[in-house]
Structure 1
Amino acid sequence: MDLPFAENYKIKMVEPIYRSTREEREKWIHQAHYNLFNLKSNQVFIDLLTDSGTGAMSDRQWGALMTGDESYAGSSSYFHLKEKVKSIFGFDYFLPVHQGRAAENVLFSVLVKEGQLVPGNSHFDTTKGHIEFRKAKAIDCTIDEAFDTNGMHPFKGNISIDKLTQVLEQHPREQIPMIIVTLTCNSSGGQPVSMKNLREIREVADHYQIPVIFDSARFAENAWFIQNREAGYQNKSICEIVTEMYQYADGMTMSSKKDGIVNIGGILAMRREDWYQQATVYNIMFEGFITYGGMAGRDMNALAIGLEEVTDGAYLENRIRQVHYLGNQLIELGIPVQKPLGGHAVFVDAKRFLQQVPKEEYIAQTLAIELYLEAGVRGVEVGTLLADRDPLTKANRYPQLEFLRLAIPRRTYTNNHMDVVAAGLKNIFDRRDQITRGFRIVEEAPIMRHFTVKLKRK
């Protein structure tokens, strides 16, 4: 018989987690104002809130922590990481930052002005927040196929070239500071962008003389999908694919807490020296000196190793197989999810799951709370709460997709934990017709409200 697939690592250390009772969870979520972000970590059994900074580092990374150079200026850890950024992504100019939204803050302080438009593929929440904070507007140019959760388009993260061209045709060059491509596209379900699409975006950008920036939080997972789904790349290594991907970019932001497999850190890199010189001013103001930028030397060392490990094909195969292990269980149980399955998370289609809950009562958030109460599993809403209000009308924005995102930390949980998640969702699915009411907002922040919002049951 064929040998079964098994993890390509063994466990050296364990951390106990507490299995609470439903009565405890009822009390805790009420005290948290029905916001899963407000729960204490020891009130959660399986934490799938995010894959950001929650992965398990390797023995090599832990060893690298011990040799970090904590010099304020000119740290050897900085130069080690700078070399890795150059060899993997090809950028000469690099600034470390404490996480991805910090890279956005620094770069957008240089490039984005009031009244401008930033087209891209389903901008992530912090990306859109930084754009709108500067009184600019994010324009979603994702292909239409991304919004059909049953469709099997292999690259639902793609930007529609027709939509992008229409935006660029209708507005003067100075109104478009950049095109942003998120790899993989989180908000559309962890969906990859094809190499063909990256090439086409570059051609359009060159024609209109617009820079292209990659949000690179999950760049290696995107490369894995290119290798496995796009003709002509099956025999190329992940590193070779990444090299080609970044030939089509002028710069990158990166939350290293995802595909850097570290607990903190970020990268801002670019080709243009004038951008770099301007960005150093904001980096020093917001983050720290240009050779540490909010990161300890030990964390830069760990990140340099993480960038090596994440571009290993065997690692990526194991990581994405676990995501698909959970996703395929849900599909077999009849639970609606975004198909085909993406890279870092399983996205449950809350609109199709809870058809009795009105959209005004936050469908995906309702499902997320039900899963916590049922199984002690913390996911996150990617829907109306996250979409926020229109900055001009202040009305709720109702996105086409309402997801419960189950983001799986890297090298952290076993497939037994995934079985618990699947069973919890199946139990809710069996009684879904009994769930007819959701929640209302009692307090919210003016921007990126989903992090701190307070809710009450309807």
Structure 2
Amino acid sequence: MAKYMAEPYKIKVVEPIAMKTPEQLAAAIEEAGYNTFLLKSKDVYIDLLTDSGTTAMSDNQWAGMMIGDEAYAGSNNFYNLEKTVQEIYGFKYVVPTHQGRGAENILSKICIKPGDYVPGNMYFTTTRAHQELAGATFEDVIIDEAHDSQNEHPFKGNIDLNKFQALIDRVGAERIPYICLAVTVNLAGGQPVSIKNMREVKQLAEKHGIKVMFDATRCVENAFFIKEREEGYQDKSIAEILKEMFSYADGATMSGKKDCLVNIGGFLALNDPDLYQKATQLVVLYEGMPSYGGLAGRDMEAMARGIRESVDYYYIKHRIEQIRYLGEKLDAAGVPIVKPIGGHAIFLDARKFLPHIPQDQFPAQMLAAQLYKISGVRSMERGIVSAGRNAVTGDHHYPKLELVRLTIPRRVYTYAHMDVVADAVIELYKKRDTIPGLKMVYEPPVLRFFTARFEPIK
């Protein structure tokens, strides 16, 4: 018997990857200021920086690229994308954008007024940045279990209804334009939200006239966990679960670069015709015509086909099982990871991995840098650097979770690559006591984790 599920695809095209010496790796991470975002792709062996836009597209998607209708308005590919979103997700209106943050920007501008509050199940970096730039204050209303890396709650992405109600009571429903519900929750470790919780959030929001907007970036992964873990859904298809999930939303932002299986693209989906009209006005200003929104026709075609491919059970089952394979190897070796294992990545708990490094010396940032230095494996920090600073006081946000994300691209790497990653992390864990902290030597004013630079503390 195989120890794991074989890939439900065969490899047609290969891309050589870098094999660097230890000296070359050390020089590269130093040149990058100990920030894995600033590494050159040519210097990376196994790239687990992100699953965003790193998907290997199918032959069917590439075939679709050849029938791109590049008309400036009314592209055939737009209507195919619109029909696909309506059929698979159930929304009435679709506004294409160049990627997810384009949709976040438009949603924030059409819904938020200065002084508003936007609750959500843990922040995401670009989402919160757009909300704050529009004048809102983000409020985390996720359940407490989400902040504990070792808690095995099956739906750690759930909204705490008492926290949501408390915010409504404190600031008034009129100052809450919508609640942002992420499926799954990235910074909690790729943790899902239950159908029951989505239904209850919708009921509470509707009672107070508050809209529910999904961050739907990894909705297929969320649907898989519902099928696996939630009573009554074992016999439902992924497509059926998705349709019910989105029935509890008034709209959604989508980065197509994740669960839509493409390298670029996204959209804002809505049910309200008035919001849709406002969105089409702004997409012209920031992105392009409402029928392309910053995308070529061929990219919209690839996304439409990717959405349909993504609901295949064997595709998503393989994806989740490959991630679990890596997580279980690390867990068996005693490496501290976020549990339960989530949908798109394995998250190393840097607090437990490097307990001797205080949080303001950026332990997760250093852990990611050291992993690259010994193996050429690129990961990313999801802790104090990503959390940024308080807009009023200028102090660091100190999140309870200080994590390194090993993000698995879709349909790209094999189980052999997962073995290499596991061996490298385990080797690093054995000599963790020798790893020093970092100091920040350059900090941009917004989304600092992308371009900040660091030096080791000697």
Normalized against structure 2, the TM-score is what?
Answer: 0.98
Q: How many residues align?
A: 457
Does the Cα contact within 8 Å between 2:4 and 2:325 map onto a contact in 1? no
Residues 1:246 and 1:427: Cα distance change in structure 2 (over 3 Å): same
Q: Which amino acid aligns with 2:31?
A: Q
Classify the secondary structure of the residue corresponding to 1:187: helix
Residue 441 (str. 1) matches residue 440 (str. 2): yes
1:390 CA drift (Å): 0.3
1:14-413 aligned within 5 A? 14-413=14-413
State yes or no: 1:455 paired with 2:444: no
The 1-side partners of 2:279 and 2:328 are apart by 44
RMSD: 1.0
The 2-side partners of 1:108 and 1:59 are apart by 36
Give the distance between the partners of 1:240 and 1:83, measured in 2 at CA. 17
The one-letter code sitting in structure 2 at the alignment partner of 1:440 is: K
TM superposition shift of 1:135 = 2.8
CA distance in 2, matches of 1:448, 1:178: 23
Rounded to whole Å, the distance in 2 between the matches of 1:451 and 1:193 is 28
Q: In the alignment, what sits opposite 1:426?
A: 426
How far off its partner does 1:88 sit?
A: 1.0
CA distance in 2, matches of 1:309, 1:148: 34
Distance 2:229 2:283 in 1: 38
Post-superposition offset of 1:113: 1.7
Deviation of the 1:3 alpha carbon: 8.8
In structure 1, how many angstroms separate the alpha carbons of the residues matched to 2:381 and 2:3?
A: 38
Q: Structure 1 residue runs of 4+, over 2 Å off?
A: 1-5
After superposition, the Cα gap between the structure-2 partners of 1:4 and 1:92, relative to the gap in structure 1 and judged at 3 Å, is: closer
Deviation at 1:124, TM superposition (A): 1.0
Q: Which moved more, 1:111-120 or 1:220-229?
A: 111-120
Letter in 1 for 2:452: V
After TM superposition, the score normalised by the length of structure 1 is 0.98
Comparing 442-451 with 300-309, greater Cα deviation is found at 442-451
Give the counterpart letter for 2:246 in structure 1.
Y
User: 1:2 offset after TM fit, Å?
Assistant: 7.3
* Cα displacement string for residues 221-240 of structure 1 (whole angstroms, at most 9, x for unaligned residues): 10000000000000000111
SS at match of 1:307: helix
Which has the larger displacement, 108-117 or 290-299? 108-117
Verify the 8 A CA contact 2:34 2:366 in the aligned structure 1.
no
Mean Cα deviation higher: 2-11 or 204-213: 2-11
Distance 2:363 2:248 in 1: 38
Residues 338-366 of structure 1: CA distance to partner in whole angstroms, max 9, x if unpaired?
Answer: 11100000011110000111111001101
Any stretches of 5+ residues in structure 2 without a counterpart?
none
What's the CA shift string for 1:311-343, capped at 9, x where partnerless? 111110011111111011100110011111000
Amino acid at match of 1:136: A
Q: Tell me how far apart the structure 2 counterparts of residues 229 and 366 of structure 1 sit (CA, whole Å).
A: 35
| SS of residue in 2 equivalent to 1:258 | coil
**Distance (whole Å) between structure 2 residues aligned to residue 383 and residue 199 of structure 1:** 30
Instruction: Determine helix, strand or coil for the equivalent of 1:254.
Output: strand
Cα separation, 2, equivalents of 1:107 and 1:136 = 12
What secondary structure, in the 3-state scheme, does the structure 1 residue paired with 2:156 have?
coil
Distance 2:300 2:31 in 1: 38
Query: AA paired with 1:443?
Result: Y
Q: Is the 8 A contact 2:112 2:135 kept in 1?
A: no
Write the distance in 1 (CA, Å) between the matches of 2:4 and 2:441. Answer: 50
Q: Report Cα offsets for 1:367-418 as digits up to 9, x if no partner.
A: 1011000110110000000000000000111100001000100000111111
How far, CA to CA, are the matches of 1:339 and 1:204 in structure 2? 29
Q: Tell me the alpha carbon deviations over residues 168-205 of structure 1, each in whole angstroms, 9 at most, x when there is no partner.
A: 11112221111000110001000000001001101110
Deviations 1:231-250 (A, max 9, x none): 00000001110111011000
Whichever residue aligns with residue 17 of structure 1, its letter is I
Secondary structure of the equivalent of 1:95?
A: strand
Native 8 Å contact 2:4 2:321 kept in 1: no
Shift of the alpha carbon at 1:4?
5.6
